[in-house]
Structure 1
Amino acid sequence: MKKKIKMIGLDLDGTLFNNKKEILPYTREVLQRAIDKGVVVLVATGRPWSGIPDELKDLTGMRYAVTSNGARVIETKTQKALIEHLLPVEKAKKILETARKYDTLQEVYFENRGYIEEEQFEKIYQYHKDPHMWKYVRSTRITVPDIMTFLGQLNKPVDKTQILFADMEERARAWKELEQDKEIVLVGSLGYNIEINGAGVNKGMALVELGKMLGIEREEIMACGDGDNDEAMLKEVGLGVAMENAEEQVKKAADYITGTNEEEGAAKAIEKFVL
């Protein structure tokens, strides 16, 4: 007999959000019903906390969040970090040095916020292929004159780095170069980016670790996702749910395939397995 689901980790882009980056009323209702039932419902995203919409932050009973692909797990009320698996600042500098060999936009996530160079901030449309991402980036990023100088002044570990590419051949070459470093892990949930965390860091590991803190077993955790940064998460938890719009390797990692993000498939899966 399968164990009762006590925790649900939810990816955002391509999963909880529709293609316009919206959370539809039925999805919001299902999330609230699950929370009211006593289930720990939380986002498990590559975004920093500052990049999560207020309508999710304000959801009554949403107490935790997995951010930056598992690098940081926070208590939402206080934004206090409960779990941290950070990237050393010198490692982040080396990653960005590699990125600067190519036509790229570089970002650094630190303590729940994303940072970007002022000059590149004005050129996000050249790198983000999805126009719906333009508004998101413009409303959530903090600009700095120079990202490398910022890292030097910071001199602290960061959550993760992200590199956006204008040219996919350059992305392939940069990926090959970066993956030689066994102290980092690469994913690319947007298809035209590379997200870099410390080796072994992923959303699933963070969910399981939080579960242990809350007395919830791995088999009692459900997760929904669609991108390559969700593959490890779906393998780590007791019930991995892939969206119909998910990448093929993500579907193969899942225990169940639900509808697309446009069909509110995540909410339907929660109704099926939890409610």
Structure 2
Amino acid sequence: MSGVKAHPIQFVLSDMDGTLLRPDHSLSQRTIEAVRALREAGVFFSLATGRPPKAMLQQIEALGVDLPTAAFNGGTIVHPDGSFLVAHYLPREAAIATLALFGGQAEVEVWVFSGGDWLLHDPHGPMVPREQHGLGYPPVVVESFEPYLDCIDKIVAASNNAPLLVELEAQLQLKVDGQAQVSRSQPVYLDVTAMQANKGEALATLAEFLGVPLEHTAAIGDGGNDPAMFHRAGLSIAMGQAQEEVKRQADVVTGSNVEEGAAEAIERFILGAG
């Protein structure tokens, strides 16, 4: 897509990892100030991420977000007081099919998120330190995922073998078609959530909650789970380091997260600075 749409933006929904956050999961001062400038200009701002709600708290505080935020790719939308605006769980049958496929892969670590906890079998997996650093809290080791099958927020296949995750994404989409969303939030993470748990639905839900028409919204992201909100937003912005498939689905492309691309996009395309 090309060109910036003319509608004035009243609400911005942004991804976190790979977008607002630098590779070390930190927020730059420029990004914090850009979000502050948005809010001072009367533009609503919130977050949509694959993370659990409690893994967003530090960023919510740093950015001064006082609106509901979308966790688990939109499967859970949480008010600032912790109450739910929306909560969608992965259907039991889809969870069973997902766990069966992922569990048979030697190079894949299987993580289940339920009730605010990060559940896994092996706490020594090579991907665990990265995730723990990003989330800010440790996993809970369980012998079986069976007790949680009726209240799963998200299942993740984590692997440094990115091509394998691409193959698993295609295989699983056929198995859970119409039951679950399957998308790579990052090249090394394959997320499985409820059908309603996507960032496009989250954008629409939050826009309605705020009384903002979709044509007056903007979405910023970098991952395979972000085009869902690109397709609903009035203005869609892809990060510079995003894969070409993601960039093609955005209206404009900004700098990378190393280059503070989210702040640049806010300044240039929404506030009109620079």
Whether TM exceeds 0.5 here: the answer is: yes
**How far apart, CA to CA, are the structure 2 residues paired with 1:195 and 1:251?**
20
Counterpart among 93, 97, 101 of residue 96 in structure 2? 93
Matched, 1:178 2:172: yes
Counterpart amino acid of residue 168 in structure 2: A
State the TM-score, normalizing by the size of structure 1.
0.87
Counterpart amino acid of residue 225 in structure 2: N
Greater share of helix residues, 1 or 2?
1
Once the two structures are TM-superposed, the CA of residue 170 in structure 1 deviates from its matched residue by 4.7
Could you tell me whether the CA contact under 8 Å between 1:114 and 1:140 is conserved in 2? no
Compared with structure 1, are the counterparts of its residues 37 and 160 closer, same or farther at alpha carbon in structure 2 (3 Å cutoff)? Answer: same
**How far apart, CA to CA, are the structure 2 residues paired with 1:256 and 1:15?**
14
**Deviation per residue, 1:131-188 (Å, 9 max, x gap):** 7545225x32440322424415xxx332221111354565355334312121222111
Could you tell me whether the CA contact under 8 Å between 1:116 and 1:147 is conserved in 2? no
Once the two structures are TM-superposed, the CA of residue 29 in structure 1 deviates from its matched residue by 0.9
| Match of residue 120 from structure 1 | 122
Could you tell me whether the CA contact under 8 Å between 1:144 and 1:150 is conserved in 2? no
Q: List alignment gaps of at least 5 residues for structure 1.
A: none
Counterpart amino acid of residue 135 in structure 1: H
Counterpart amino acid of residue 142 in structure 2: P
State the TM-score, normalizing by the size of structure 2.
0.87
Secondary structure at the residue paired with 1:140?
Answer: coil
| Match of residue 153 from structure 2 | 159
Counterpart amino acid of residue 109 in structure 2: L
| Match of residue 141 from structure 2 | 144
**How far apart, CA to CA, are the structure 2 residues paired with 1:90 and 1:252?**
34
Counterpart amino acid of residue 161 in structure 1: I
Matched, 1:266 2:262: yes
Could you tell me whether the CA contact under 8 Å between 1:93 and 1:151 is conserved in 2? no
Q: List alignment gaps of at least 5 residues for structure 2.
A: none
| Match of residue 41 from structure 2 | 37
**How far apart, CA to CA, are the structure 2 residues paired with 1:270 and 1:145?**
42
Compared with structure 1, are the counterparts of its residues 65 and 259 closer, same or farther at alpha carbon in structure 2 (3 Å cutoff)? Answer: same
Counterpart amino acid of residue 122 in structure 1: H
Task: Tell me the percent identity.
Answer: 27
> Counterparts in 2 of 1:213-252, with a 5 A limit?
213-252=209-248
Could you tell me whether the CA contact under 8 Å between 2:88 and 2:196 is conserved in 1? no
Aligned pairs, how many?
A: 264
